[in-house]
Structure formats: C-alpha cells, structure tokens
C-alpha cells in the first residue's frame, strides 16, 4: 500500500492493527451479499476493494484490488510491463502468493498478490507503483509469441513482410530491440497457426458438399480423395451449380473458355475455371474446381 507520502505499507499489517484482517480481505463474500431495503428489495452491497479492469489499455494496480486467479494477475503485470516499457520479473510464484518486482537495480516498484484466507479470490496486499528506472529497450517480456500475438493480422495479410521491416516496426511500437531469430520465430508461429486452422477446415469438406447439394438441388459437387496415402487426403473439389448450367444454356454464347491460377501460401494447388460469355459480353462462370495441379486427369 502507498500512503500520501508515497511510502510502502503492507495492507495485511494494517488490517491486523484494525482487528479486521479476515473480514476486510474476504471480498468474495461481499460480492455475493445483499442488503434489504425498506421496500423489501435486495440491493447488492458495495464492494470494499476495487476489481481489476481487464479492458484497460494500461493496467492500474491498487491495494486490495481483486483478481479471479493468479494467472490473470501475471497477464496483467506483463501487459503493464509492455505498455510502460519496463522489465518486470516474478521473484516469488507460490501456491498462495505471487510477487512481481522491477528488474532495474534499486527501483522500488513492487506488487505482492496473496490469496485470501476465507475465500477463493486473490488480492494485492502490497503495491508501490513508483519507477526510478528509464524505459527499457532490452525488454525480456517482448517474446516471439507476444510479437506473433500483436502482429498476427499484419503477417497474415502480408506474408512477405520482410524481417528488417518488422524489426523497425517493433522498435518503434514496442520500444524493444529484438533479434532477427526472434522475429523469424514469431512469423513461424503465425504461419503454423494458419496451417493448423487450414487442416481443420479440410475435415469439413464433406459437410460443405452436402450443404451445397441440399441448398442447390440438381448441382454437381464432387470431392475426390487420394487413397494411395496411408490416410485418405484431400485431392480435388469440383463445383457446378444447377443455376449456372441452366443460365449458360439459356442465355450465353456457345463458347467456353478455360483458365486457372495458383494458390499462394500454405495451401498448394490450382483453381481451374470454366467461363462463358453472356449477352452483355461479360464473363459468366459455369464451373470451377480445386486440383493439385493441371493434368489430363484433373
């Protein structure tokens, strides 16, 4: 706890002097307790201690602040360290307490979290929110996984984003000097996540086929698997909607063009299309297929 003169005070000791240690720390009971008004309505009692706001851009800590669990506290401290450009380390991480300090020598910043004796919540018992250290570029909190979390959308939108360009962006936005290998690991984490998500989508290809046949009666939907592998693998997918077939026969020129393009990224293969010309001389899609490559069989 920090008093008016910015001196550190331990809330546990202060509560003992007042003779209300266990009652004051038991915020879970207060959360579930109500008072009855004169009209007979139940009104929730006001909380004695503030609760942590996970949506705040920069976490703010005070003595008595409640956390649902220790992991939420650790995530909040790490978020604070990244936002304030400080190197925070956890010097104590036990089953009933957790202590975080600034790694800069003689910097007084400290947070001490402890579990209440009569409830399951965690409360900040000691808080000295004062730094005497400068912003740190050697921030060990800036890991490859946190870089991947922050820039995942940008990497997916631009997989060719150069490592040097990423390094300059991280130096400017996260105020951290990171190595080339750490940036490469961050990109590989993002690409692996995309690859894992893509694998799960292929497992739903037959559900997609059935839904297309249900919603578009008369259509031709074909899924082909490669049965020569130990486990059957996706090979080709062909789509020709009944409405497209009827539209081509009824109002298009009797000319069919074929075209294709290659997939980029983690998914290999080609997209082949059969196109016609409508009465306005515009392209009219007839059918399309996803194949492993353009061959006589495909």
Instruction: State how far the Cα of 1 lies from the Cα of 178, in Å rounded to an integer.
Output: 35
The contacts found for 156-162 with CB under 8 angstroms, 24 or more apart, are 156/190, 156/194, 159/191, 159/265, 161/187
SS (H, E, C) 264-289: CCCCCCEEEEEEEECCCCCEEEEEEE
Per-residue pLDDT of the chain (298 residues; tens, 9 = 90+): 444 444 444 444 444 333 333 333 334 444 455 555 666 666 655 556 677 888 888 999 999 888 888 999 999 999 999 999 999 999 988 888 999 999 999 999 999 999 877 667 789 999 999 999 999 999 999 999 999 999 999 998 888 899 999 999 999 999 999 999 999 999 999 988 888 877 778 888 999 999 999 999 999 999 998 888 777 888 899 999 999 999 999 989 989 999 999 987 667 789 999 999 998 889 999 999 999 888 877 7
The separation between CA 140 and the C-alpha centre of its own chain, rounded to angstroms, equals: 20
């Amino acid at each position: 706890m920090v008093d008016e003169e910015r001196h550190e005070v331990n809330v546990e000791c202060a509560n003992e002097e007042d003779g209300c240690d266990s009652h004051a720390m038991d915020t879970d009971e207060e959360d579930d307790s109500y008072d009855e008004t004169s009209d007979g309505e139940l009104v929730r009692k006001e909380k004695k201690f503030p609760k942590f706001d996970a949506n705040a851009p920069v976490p703010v800590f005070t003595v008595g602040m409640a956390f649902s669990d220790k992991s939420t506290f650790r995530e909040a401290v790490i978020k604070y360290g990244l936002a304030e450009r400080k190197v925070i380390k956890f010097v104590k991480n036990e089953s009933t307490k957790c202590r975080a300090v600034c790694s800069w020598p003689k910097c007084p910043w400290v947070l001490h979290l402890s579990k209440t004796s009569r409830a399951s919540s965690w409360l900040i018992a000691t808080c000295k929110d004062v730094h005497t250290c400068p912003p740190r570029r050697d921030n060990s909190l800036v890991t490859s996984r946190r870089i991947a979390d922050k820039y995942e959308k940008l990497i997916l939108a631009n997989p060719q984003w150069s490592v040097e360009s990423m390094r300059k962006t991280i130096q400017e936005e996260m105020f951290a000097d990171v190595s080339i290998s750490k940036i490469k690991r961050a990109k590989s984490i993002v690409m692996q996540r995309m690859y894992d998500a893509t694998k799960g989508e292929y497992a739903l290809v037959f559900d997609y086929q059935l839904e297309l046949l249900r919603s578009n009666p008369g259509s031709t939907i074909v899924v082909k698997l490669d049965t020569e592998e130990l486990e059957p693998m996706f090979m080709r997918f062909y789509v020709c909607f009944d409405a497209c077939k009827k539209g081509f026969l009824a109002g298009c020129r009797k000319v069919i063009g074929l075209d294709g393009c290659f997939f980029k990224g983690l998914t290999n293969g080609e997209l082949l299309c059969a196109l016609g010309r409508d009465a306005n001389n515009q392209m009219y899609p007839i059918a399309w297929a996803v194949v492993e490559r353009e061959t006589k069989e495909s």
